[in-house]
Amino acid sequence: MSQPQSAEQPAPTAPPSVQPPQIVSPAVPPAKAPGAAQGSGADSNVIVVTGDQSTRKQDPAQAINQVSYEAVQALDKAIVGPVARTYKKETPKPVRSAIRNVINNLDEPIVFVNFLLQLKPGKALRTVGRFAVNSTVGIAGIMDVAKKKPFHMPRLSNGLADTLGYYGVGPGPYLFLPLIGSTTVRDVFGRMLDLSLVPAAAGSPFNTPYYALPKGGLSALDERANNDEEFRQIRESGNPYAAQRTWYLNRRKAEILALHSQEYRDKVAAEEKAKAEAKEKARIEREAAEKATAGATAPSTAPLSASSPADAPPPVLPAAPGAVPPQ
């Protein structure tokens, strides 16, 4: 049940310029070993787990997170995963799409508010249009009519955590929490405020458990079913915990970058490429310096002088008759 971000957040739509992360399964230490290196630039969508010590800053609560992760994975393997796969297999696709559409439609006010906070009035008005069309013509959001002709308004995912990231607020420490799964300090804070928006603005019945619990449960189940292949790849990697962490952080990074212009994304990619090249150059220079130092301090291997009979090797004696020579 290792859902990314929040148990109640629907699976975000991948931006057109950024592909979802892929998981690569290299030879890595066991799951207890620390570290997962996050890619950069064009390679940021490929997860390669390593023993990079920089992850200590990224995941200072790793020991606690891993205990939570292993407990959740045991529950996911025994109950949640099979239920999600059964739901996906046995529930007709139109029914699953209708459930997802209703959940997404209920979250459109959150998307609208955050586009306003990001000073994007055009996308905010577009979100209002989607909500109006789907709530009426789409029968309370059961059908996503707005994304089709003649409206051409596909859904855009957004939230307060995205807004904070858009304005440069870092993710903070990575967390793996029961019922929520992968998240960060920024993301869990933003999602808590998002979830309080509609109940506070609309009142009953949206502020009752009769609304929150079914919506959250169906959202989590649908997301778990849709991400089953990604979770399978993570489980089969050499270090599932580190792969899960990197998959989530890469995905959130891509979603926030997609809120910016293409020019900004190109600039970020160029900066990350320059940093990676500088880091590699420093590594090569450091290794060369270490080799030079080792060569300068290595003991001499010159043959011993004949004037040192005490250190001379013993003479080789002829083998005794019938002796078997050493193999």
Q: Which two tokens stand for residue 268?
A: 């970020």
Residue 327, pLDDT score = 45
Q: Which two tokens stand for residue 178?
A: 């029961």
124-161 pLDDT per residue, tens? 999 999 999 999 999 999 999 999 999 999 999 999 99
**Max intra-chain CA distance, the chain:** 107
User: In whole angstroms, what is the distance from residue 182 CA to residue 228 CA?
Assistant: 15
User: In whole angstroms, what is the distance from residue 243 CA to residue 238 CA?
Assistant: 8
User: In whole angstroms, what is the distance from residue 267 CA to residue 300 CA?
Assistant: 52
| Pairing verdict, β 174-177 and 181-184 | antiparallel
User: In whole angstroms, what is the distance from residue 143 CA to residue 158 CA?
Assistant: 20
How would residue 322 be classed by pLDDT, with cut points 50, 70 and 90?
very low
Neighbours of 260 (CB within 10 A): 14
Q: Cα angle at 318 between 317 and 322, to 5 degrees?
A: 135
Q: Which residues contact 102 (CB under 8 A, 6 or more apart)?
A: 140, 141, 142
225-267 pLDDT per residue, tens? 999 999 999 999 989 999 999 999 999 999 999 999 999 999 9
Q: Which of 71-80, 196-205, 292-301 has the lowest mean pLDDT?
A: 292-301
Q: Which of 55-69, 99-113, 301-315 has the lowest mean pLDDT?
A: 301-315
User: In whole angstroms, what is the distance from residue 1 CA to residue 117 CA?
Assistant: 32
Q: What's the distance, CA 128 to chain centroid?
A: 30
- For the chain, the C-alpha Rg in angstroms (whole number) is 28
271-313 pLDDT per residue, tens? 999 999 999 999 999 999 998 888 777 665 555 554 545 455 5
pTM for the model: 0.72
